[in-house]
Structure 1
């Protein structure tokens, strides 16, 4: 097993209400004020389940961000600051220092950098030069859950090590000017900006430190066939143009329940044994589909609904923010079983089985 010692969310300082964002971005996305698409955008934003979002730069700057080189430069500079804040906070909470980190997995799908942000972070934080690094691009929203699962895989083989999962997503920088497609209208009202760091420990290191967070006791990966055109990016001269199908929720409802049941069955558990659900904030339709397929009351996903309302969908960082809220709430009793999950391009799902230690 491995243990989650700390989860540290980070948000940019520029926060706006959904109404402010809709008013400012309306002319950017739909330049013709008389276009019926403007009304569609306003309706989509109002029904997104989002009240506020944090943005990488002040809201008025988005009018002038018209090229990929502009937005990607901001991804690197703003993203690096958020990455530093998240990792410093996570290590401090875990009672560790940067020199303790043996392995770092970095994930993002909203910008590119070579050297990657994790490499730039090593010198800034004072990590050891022999730290093992794995930067990952392309997993999208699923990467928060997948990152925990892959770091767990590493720590099973390195029980004395400290590892960090780092997610940085600046979704607002992918906004497409003059694109009134339904995908861009939905995206411009749903996604926010943020980062998160998860500090994880191998078994031996966790025992030495006396860390009290939940253990990762199992994982499951699933790639659903013939769904690759439902979610992702079309990459072109203007940067990342989102591909987002309304049928994503249907894929979730058809498949997720069986996958969760299968993971639980492997460990001699059933849905009734799960006391804590940590769900990716994919949007209202996705969360409703999750509740139906798992036969859950809305209250079981309340922290996901609250996170969606407060910061929007943060892509790979979203489920990590919900995990941070779950740990902060402190409502999971000793021995409690939890399931953390997210979905992403592919369509794929990643599931993580958690158990809070008895002592």
Structure 2
């Protein structure tokens, strides 16, 4: 079985940038006809979301204008093609790889619908090989960045001397529902932002980077309504159960300890926690759980503050921060994310 290493991680941000304080007047205008107490509560959610800034594929005026599902999805299609092309090109340049050296391309997105999927456009845009293996990952939400790592690792483990690219592009902005005044929509509007990321992996012996020593998914039983989207005539409508943080806390020991034990390690030996910033409450819950074990998730909190939750791409932004550190050989990292299913995905790294 081949050793799989992460060669590089890059990110690409959309054109529009906005601070949370600049979004609040738009939120107040949007909620003008709502009950005063409800309005105050929503403003508090935005102010307390631990997100200072986020990026978007469309201007804020456009976000708060009633547009059809078709119009928003067309903007999504146009922009994810650009972001995907840019982030993959940037990663290939950083790794000194040519586009036609990629054997396996995985594209990840759940915030819009396009058939053919993004990978088909990237193959054409970058003149990739005609026999490149495609895998679009579309309905796994926030966990899908790690799902992509798991699929790539499995492919590369059984194929020595090969290269894989994972391109995650998300626009939660394109799913924002103007007519939905549910708490799920308020919370998601307060925490989500748009962004793209790319990870290059390889089973070539010459690759420099942390190696993947284990990967696994964990499925929560009968929890399909915890998180996801309902497809309505207006677009993708957010499902977000307030019980997500407590459910994670309840399952946490089963998610972490048996997985690490299987790979002859333990949480005590894991030096770096590369955790997906799902939102302030999830971050606080996991921070408490890891804090009791003497660990911190500072990079996760900082990623949430700077970009918001960009669904599948976000954990890869956290991973990029670790890739830029000078981590001593032999140290371990645990990548962890949660998403619709309900599920937890884990990848164990060693530098």
Query: Is TM-score (shorter-chain normalized) higher than 0.5?
Result: yes
Match of 1:337 among 332, 338, 341: 332
For 2:317 and 2:86, the matched residues in 1 are separated by 14
| Aligned counterpart for 1:224 among listed residues 210, 220, 227 | 220
Deviation (angstroms), 1:329: 2.7
- Which has the larger displacement, 296-305 or 173-182? 296-305
Question: Which residue number corresponds to residue 145 of structure 1?
Answer: 146
| Structure 1 residue 239: Cα displacement | 0.5
Output the CA distance in 2 between the equivalents of 1:192 and 1:295.
27
Normalised by the length of structure 1, the TM-score is: 0.94
| C-alpha spacing 1:101/1:183, structure 2 compared with 1 (3 Å) | same
1:14 aligns with 2:16: yes
In the alignment, which residue of structure 1 is the partner of 2:341? 346
TM-superposition CA deviations, 1:21-62 (whole Å, max 9, x none): 22223433x241654322121010111110000011111112
How big is the alpha-carbon RMSD for the aligned residues of Structure 1 and Structure 2?
A: 1.5
Do the aligned partners of 2:4 and 2:156 also contact (CA within 8 Å) in 1?
yes
Output the CA distance in 2 between the equivalents of 1:179 and 1:20. 21
Q: Distance in 1 between matches of 2:292 and 2:99?
A: 40
Aligned partners of 1:281 and 1:161: how far apart in 2?
31
Listed as ranges, the matches of 1:180-191 within 5 Å are 180-191=181-192
Distance 2:337 2:44 in 1: 26
Structure 2: 5+ residue runs without aligned partners? none
| Secondary structure of the structure 2 residue equivalent to 1:329 | coil
Give distance in 2, aligned partners of 1:298 and 1:236.
Answer: 44
CA separation in 1, counterparts of 2:121 and 2:127? Answer: 11
Pick one of 299, 302, 310 that aligns with 2:298.
302
Q: How many residues in Structure 1 have an aligned counterpart in Structure 2?
A: 349
Q: Alpha carbons of 1:322 and 1:298: their partners in 2 closer, same or farther (altered >3 Å)?
A: farther
| 1:192-211 matches, cutoff 5 A | 192-202=193-203, 205=204, 207-208=205-206, 211=207
CA gap of 1:126–1:345, structure 2 versus 1, over 3 A, is same
> Equivalents in 2 of 1:246, 1:150: separation in Å?
30
Of stretches 58-67 and 158-167 in structure 1, the one that deviates more from structure 2 is: 58-67
Q: Please state whether the residue corresponding to 1:110 is helix, strand or coil.
A: coil
- 1:170 aligns to 2:165 (yes or no): no
Equivalent position SS for 2:324: helix
Task: Could you list the structure 1 runs, at least 4 aligned residues long, displaced by more than 6 angstroms after superposition.
Answer: none
Given candidates 288, 292, 298, the residue that maps to 1:292 is 288
Tell me how far 1:296 sits from its aligned partner. 4.8
Shift of 1:258: 2.5
CA contact (8 A) 1:231 1:346 kept: yes
CA contact (8 A) 1:291 1:298 kept: no
For residues 258-286 of structure 1, give each alpha carbon's deviation from its aligned partner in whole angstroms, at most 9, with x where no partner exists. 22111110111111101011000011111
Hey, what's the Cα distance between the residues in 2 that align with 1:134 and 1:353?
A: 22
Residue 27 of structure 2 contacts residue 43 of structure 2 at CA under 8 Å; is this kept in 1?
no
CA contact (8 A) 2:275 2:300 kept: yes
